[in-house]
């Protein structure tokens, strides 16, 4: 109450509420619409003559509030709150007119334009609660989207697409004309933010997140005004609008199994991405093979199907795809047939062995790694007939494994003579020898002398005992020489020569003067006859 005991004016009562505060802060859910409506109801009651009441939505009611609203015009936050307080009492024409009267002019922006625009959009939204007939549902939704963009809450592209669709359908022209929407997008830096976000997703090939942003673009096609606004706001619009990926496929690419391999798979993931060639096709592979040499569409389709199948099996099978197709830049019928055979097993351990085998074919791989990889691959191929043709015969494992084994034996024997640490090499030779012996499906390709040698390989326990003896006994001794000779002969396929007479016998010359410490390596005779026949 005032100092004279008079009731405060309705304008003063409005100022005492938090209506202005909540309009300024933009908290839609906290705006006190019911509280300020009670204040407006009281005004109408006080303005009514003693013998009758002024009816809501009447011309007389419109005049009362038109005059009352003039007293707060220009008082930002209070003027708009006053309008919202009496909307339920006004006729449609007067209520609609009052909302339109506070619409900012985008052609004459000032320092407070963004704030007034923010409050105006809130008023459209609140008017749906105050008097649902004042604004249509489409206008309310469009205002919410516009406000979300302005306040930075609507970071998802669908919000602007809904807004532009409404603009394109001309359902919001009165309250949200094109120029006002454009101004909203400009002051909110929406183009920069959207372009940055989509470029980030594009660089990471996070296609499903990008697809969620741009999916609704297709709804704009055929709405000229909306399309023009979109082109002004979003320069890459044609590329994204034409994009038609397999949504289930790109969703599956969000699997944790793909994360460790994503950087290696980027060229493949590109194929399901948008067409960056400018031809506006459904996906890149419809216009271009990307970085791959093959231009055959069915090969690229088959590659993506191979990735889908590999992902369903597990990380090791994805790695097999990388070893076959990506690291060697070899997208062909042969590599895809190999991949499909590997996927068919649904065996991660087998996939891991096959990937190691493919990588072991590189000349840059050390001998020990190559022997272990060949041994693991031979075990897999021996137990899986379906893999023998794509990974065995076509990869010439017959010659390759034989060559690796012989090279391993020679290296082992040379290191043994040089007293180097050769245990790792020795165990690798033994592992590969056992795998070769188990691969009976290859035995017909090798000389019987080679097979006989494989059968005479020592056991792992025998090798372990000899290595332990060499570690524990220092200096030349008969025991040490015995273990060296055993390993050289039975594991290295050679023999240690320690006398001039043995050298003369081997090289066909006069005996040489040798000290007792001299050691000469002689190759086993089976190596001269055991070269594999044509595999």
Asked whether residue 277 is assigned to any structural domain, the reply reads: no
User: Dihedral of the CA atoms 430, 432, 436, 437 (nearest 10)?
Assistant: 20
Domain boundary, last residue among 106, 135, 164: 135
* pLDDT of 426: 93
Coil vs helix vs strand at 457: coil
Q: Is residue 430 part of a domain?
A: yes
Helix (H, G, I), strand (E, B) or coil at 244: coil
Nearest Cα neighbor of 96 from 62, 144, 60 is 62
Structural domain contains residue 26: yes
Look at residue 512 in the predicted model and tell me its pLDDT.
37
Q: At what angle do helices 460-472 and 478-490 cross, to 10 degrees?
A: 150
Residue 412 lies in a domain: yes
Domain presence at residue 302: no
**Of 338, 289, 278, 283, the residue nearest 310 (C-alpha):** 338
Q: Domain boundary at 85, 111, 135, which? A: 135
pLDDT at residue number 477? 63
Query: For residue 516, what pLDDT is reported?
Result: 32
Choose the final residue of a domain: 101, 116, 135: 135
Q: What is the pLDDT of residue 215?
A: 82
The pLDDT score that the predictor gives to residue 5 is 55
The helix/strand count (H/E) of the chain reads as 28, 2
Q: What angle do CA 212, 217, 220 make, to 5 degrees?
A: 150
**CA 469 to CA 475: how far, in whole Å?**
12
Please give the pLDDT value at position 479: 67
The continuous run of DSSP H or E covering 511 comes out as none
Is 299 within a domain? no
Integer CA distances (angstroms), 255 to 111, 185, 309, 310, 313, in order: 48, 35, 13, 12, 12
In a domain, 437, yes or no: yes
Q: Per-residue pLDDT tens, the chain, 535 aa: give them.
A: 445 556 788 889 999 999 999 999 988 999 999 999 999 999 999 888 776 889 999 999 999 999 999 999 989 999 999 999 999 999 999 999 999 999 999 988 888 899 999 999 999 999 999 999 999 988 998 898 888 888 876 555 666 777 777 777 677 888 988 888 888 888 888 778 778 888 999 999 999 999 988 887 777 777 777 777 777 777 788 898 899 999 999 999 999 989 999 999 999 999 999 999 999 999 999 988 887 776 688 899 999 999 999 999 999 999 999 999 999 888 899 999 999 999 999 999 999 999 999 999 999 999 999 999 999 999 999 999 999 999 999 999 999 999 999 999 999 988 887 666 789 999 999 999 999 999 999 999 999 999 999 999 999 999 999 988 888 866 556 667 788 888 988 898 876 555 555 444 434 444 433 333 334 455 555 565 566 665 5
Q: Which residue has the tokens 């007034």?
A: 116
Identify the domain containing residue 484 by its residue range.
Answer: 397-528
Dig out the tokens for 371 from the structure: 């022997």
Domain count, the chain: 2
Contacts for 236-239 with beta carbons within 8 Å, 24 or more apart? 236/195, 236/198, 238/280, 239/274, 239/275, 239/276, 239/278, 239/280
State how far the Cα of 516 lies from the Cα of 279, in Å rounded to an integer.
Answer: 80
Q: Is residue 70 part of a domain?
A: yes
């Amino acid at each position: 109450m005032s100092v004279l005991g008079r009731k405060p004016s309705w304008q003063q009562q409005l100022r005492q509420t938090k209506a202005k505060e909540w309009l300024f802060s933009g908290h839609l859910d906290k705006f006190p619409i019911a509280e300020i409506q009670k204040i407006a109801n009281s005004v109408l009651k006080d303005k009514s003559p003693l013998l009758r009441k002024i009816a809501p939505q009447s011309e007389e009611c419109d005049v009362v509030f038109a005059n009352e609203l003039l007293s707060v015009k220009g008082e930002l936050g209070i003027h708009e709150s006053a309008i919202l307080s009496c909307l339920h009492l006004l006729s449609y024409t007067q209520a609609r007119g009052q909302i339109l009267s506070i619409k900012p002019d985008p052609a004459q922006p000032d320092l407070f334009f963004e704030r007034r625009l923010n409050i105006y959009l809130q008023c459209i939204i609140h008017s749906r609660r105050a008097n649902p007939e004042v604004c249509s549902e489409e206008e309310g939704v469009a205002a919410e989207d516009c406000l979300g963009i302005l306040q930075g809450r609507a970071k998802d592209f669908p919000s602007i697409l809904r807004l532009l669709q409404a603009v394109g359908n001309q359902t919001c022209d009165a309250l949200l004309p094109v120029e006002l929407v454009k101004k909203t997008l400009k002051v909110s830096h929406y183009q920069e933010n959207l372009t940055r976000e989509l470029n980030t997703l594009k660089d990471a090939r996070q296609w499903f997140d990008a697809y969620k942003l741009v999916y609704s673009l297709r709804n704009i096609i055929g709405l000229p005004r909306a399309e023009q606004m979109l082109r002004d706001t979003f320069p890459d619009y044609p590329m994204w609008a034409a994009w038609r990926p397999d949504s289930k496929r790109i969703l599956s690419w969000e699997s944790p199994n793909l994360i460790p391999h994503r950087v290696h798979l980027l060229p493949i993931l590109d194929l399901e991405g948008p067409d960056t060639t400018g031809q506006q096709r459904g996906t890149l592979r419809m216009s271009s093979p990307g970085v791959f040499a093959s231009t055959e569409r069915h090969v690229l389709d088959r590659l993506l199907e191979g990735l889908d199948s590999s992902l369903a099996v597990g990380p090791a099978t994805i790695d097999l795809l990388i070893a076959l197709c990506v690291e060697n830049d070899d997208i062909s019928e042969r590599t895809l047939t190999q991949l499909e055979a590997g996927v068919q097993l649904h065996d991660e351990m087998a996939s891991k062995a096959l990937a190691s085998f493919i990588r072991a074919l590189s000349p840059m791989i050390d001998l020990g790694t190559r022997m272990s990889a060949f041994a693991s691959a031979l075990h897999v191929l021996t137990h899986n007939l379906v893999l023998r043709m794509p990974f065995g015969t076509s990869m010439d494992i017959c010659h390759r494994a034989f060559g690796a084994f012989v090279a391993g034996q020679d290296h082992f024997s040379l290191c043994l003579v040089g007293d180097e640490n050769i245990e790792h090499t020795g165990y690798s030779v033994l592992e590969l020898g056992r795998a070769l012996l188990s691969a009976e499906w290859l035995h017909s390709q090798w000389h019987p002398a080679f097979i006989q040698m494989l059968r005479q390989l020592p056991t792992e326990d025998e090798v372990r005992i000899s290595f332990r003896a060499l570690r524990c006994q220092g200096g030349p001794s008969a025991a040490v020489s015995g273990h060296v000779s055993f390993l050289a002969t039975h594991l290295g396929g050679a023999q240690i020569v320690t006398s001039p007479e043995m050298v003369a016998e081997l090289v066909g010359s006069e005996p040489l003067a040798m000290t007792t410490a001299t050691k000469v390596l002689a190759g086993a005779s089976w190596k001269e006859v055991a070269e594999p026949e044509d595999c």
